[in-house]
Amino acid sequence: MNKMWRQLASIILILVVFSLVFNFLEKALVEKKEISLSEAIQLIRDKEVSKITVAADKVELASDNNQIYFAKIETNSSFIETLKNFGFSPEEIQALNIKILEQSGWSYWLGILLPFILPVILLGVLFYYSFRRTNQSAMQIFSFSRSNIKLFSPDKDRITFKDVAGLKEAKEELQEIVEFLKNPKKFQELGARIPRGVLLMGAPGSGKTLLARAVAGEANVPFFHISGSEFVEMFVGVGAGRVRDAFNTVKKAAPAILFIDEIDAIGRERGAGIGGGQDEREQTLNQILVEMDGFDRDTRVIVMAATNRPDILDFALLRPGRFDRRVVLDLPDINGREEILKIHTRDKILGPDVNLRDIAERTPGFSGADLANLVNEAAILAARKNKKAIEQQDMLSSIEKVMLGPERKSRVFTDKEKKITAYHEAGHALVSLFLPGASELKKVSIISRGQAAGYTMKMPTEERYLKTRSEFLADIAALLAGYITESLVFHDISTGAANDLETATDLARSLVTKYGMSEKLGPRSFGKTEEMIFLGKEISTEKDYSEETATLIDKEINKIIQDCYKKAKQILEENRKKLDKLAQALIEKETLERMEIEQLIK
């Protein structure tokens, strides 16, 4: 802002000076006519002169029509005496009321030279500013090859492994890097070669950048951070220049860590790309490979990089001597989530009823960033209600907001829609409770959140890594329960079951084509399996089976859906009174916890 005002003031000053000079020159360059002294006296006598200027041996007369005359007079003579000699009395001279300016010698010459000096000064100022602007533009062009690398000093904002909750295996693997940076001789004496590059792989928010900073903090070395996208610009060769500059900067600060975030932006597998952008990206990647090969055995620089798409990286990056050490960061388990919650609530005021273990149980699949956002949302919610501390209910509400979206208080349902939604969600809840193996019911509500009119929140009872066929079938039956309930109670079906049907069909298809859980098709998978989008390249399936097999797959999917439909319908018909009681309680209270539901249907 200050720079902008200085530039504006400079422009205004130049314009003012230019206008003053122009005004002066306009007056100075008016054509002057030389006359004799007697003619000058006659002009004064005829009162045709408005201004008289006397300087050394010259007198200038300015007429009313802006014509300037000048006449030469004797040096060191007084013009007043000259007027008296021509017969002007003192009273006449006084009556003329003409201002006479007597100028010294230096001011006379200044008046002569000033019309020439001022244009030179003005041109000099304009040239200076033009040269300065050109020089700045040239410097800006050369600065393109400088990297925007950021330095985190170990003396400020130091982060260690204690600040990183969970990720036990990852921290153990990276401890070797810390030891090498602290005591390299121990490895060098045995001829060991510490990996020059460490690739951190994990879903967004899993703590890749935080873990890299923790390694630098543990080793007490400078941490240099740059994003992969910051290397590439529209100008060819800029990326390679920035890579050289970044590596040179880090080498000067060794021992140090260079962290490249989102390296897949420049490290994608090279191919037959078309266009300058592809060539520039490949030049940048080639320069990174060259720089990593240029490390000496004694160079104490570790290059760490983060990505959520390791499969698309160029193979040359992953070969030994470059990013040969790969560390996978999984989403935290229940213990890890509890530790993360403790870290993010250290600077928060918590009420006595807050149970972080319960919050951890309710948040499977949450990353560290998700949990940090959850705690922040709880703090905002508590502040909005003018509370002095964050309560358990604030934490629970923030879970629902993060998972399902904020409450849609502006969405007003008719009594009929509210009743349909209540029965729909009550059907989900009832089947989930009565079917063994179904995901554990936590809460049911008919308060609209996001795009849903209501929701049934189900969580696993414990951290699970395997799931059986019977558990899949129980979840499919629970998903179909809302659809079945609407048909049983209202003899009609609404659009509210669309997402349930889509999810149930996807689960049934996975049972048949992915997990080999079909009785007729047996232990076989069909089509290329879908991978996690953040850890794999395949995000779509490819048909690699015959039309006859495709028909069998459709039949098996339909059979699974129909069997689950019958099972859920049987439960709902046998417990119709409990269904009605649960739906009525939802209409009245809008939200029910698991304990309340269990008491209602005893």
CATH number where 81 lies: 3.30.720.210
Q: What is the pLDDT of residue 74?
A: 67
CATH number of the domain enclosing 535: 1.20.58.760
**Structural domain includes residue 586:** yes
CATH number of the domain enclosing 360: 1.10.8.60
Number of domains in the chain: 6
**Structural domain includes residue 123:** yes
- pLDDT less than 70: residues of the chain: 1-32, 50, 55-57, 70, 74-80, 93-120, 122-123, 125-148, 154, 233-237, 271-279, 294-298, 409-412, 450, 460-462, 528-544
195 with 55, same domain?
A: no
Tell how far CA 254 is from the center of its chain: 29
420 with 310, same domain?
A: no
**Structural domain includes residue 519:** yes
36 with 25, same domain?
A: no
371 with 487, same domain?
A: no
342 with 453, same domain?
A: no
Domain end: 328, 347, 365, which one?
Answer: 328
Contact criterion met (CB below 8 Å) for 468 and 437: yes
170 with 299, same domain?
A: yes
Helix (H) or strand (E) holding 326: strand 325-329
Q: What are phi and psi of 259, to 5 degrees?
A: -110, 120
**Structural domain includes residue 109:** no
**Structural domain includes residue 307:** yes
85 with 123, same domain?
A: no
Q: What is the pLDDT of residue 535?
A: 47
**Structural domain includes residue 470:** yes
* pTM score, whole prediction: 0.65
**Structural domain includes residue 584:** yes
Helix (H) or strand (E) holding 33: strand 32-34
Q: What is the pLDDT of residue 573?
A: 92
Residues identified as active-site? 425
215 with 83, same domain?
A: no
Burial of 4 (0-12, 13-18, 19+ CB in 10 A): exposed
528 with 400, same domain?
A: no
Contact criterion met (CB below 8 Å) for 434 and 478: no
455 with 486, same domain?
A: yes
Show Cβ contacts of residue 14 under 8 Å, excluding neighbours closer than 6 positions.
125, 126, 129
| DSSP symbol at 439 | P
Look up the domain containing 8 and give its range. 1-29
18 with 158, same domain?
A: no
Domain end: 380, 404, 428, which one?
Answer: 404
- β-strand pairing of 68-72 with 58-63: antiparallel
Distance CA 554, CA 518 (A): 11
Q: What is the pLDDT of residue 538?
A: 46
432 with 354, same domain?
A: no
Distance CA 360, CA 389 (A): 19
307-327 per-position pLDDT tens digit: 888 888 888 888 887 887 888
Q: What is the pLDDT of residue 129?
A: 66
**Structural domain includes residue 167:** yes
Domain end: 404, 429, 459, which one?
Answer: 404
Token pair, residue 181, equals: 């940076």
Supply angle C-alpha 63, 68, 72, rounded to 5. Answer: 115
Token pair, residue 117, equals: 């000096």
Q: What are phi and psi of 226, to 5 degrees?
A: -150, 145
CATH number of the domain enclosing 297: 3.40.50.300
Q: What is the pLDDT of residue 142?
A: 47
Q: What is the pLDDT of residue 374?
A: 92
Helix (H) or strand (E) holding 90: helix 90-96
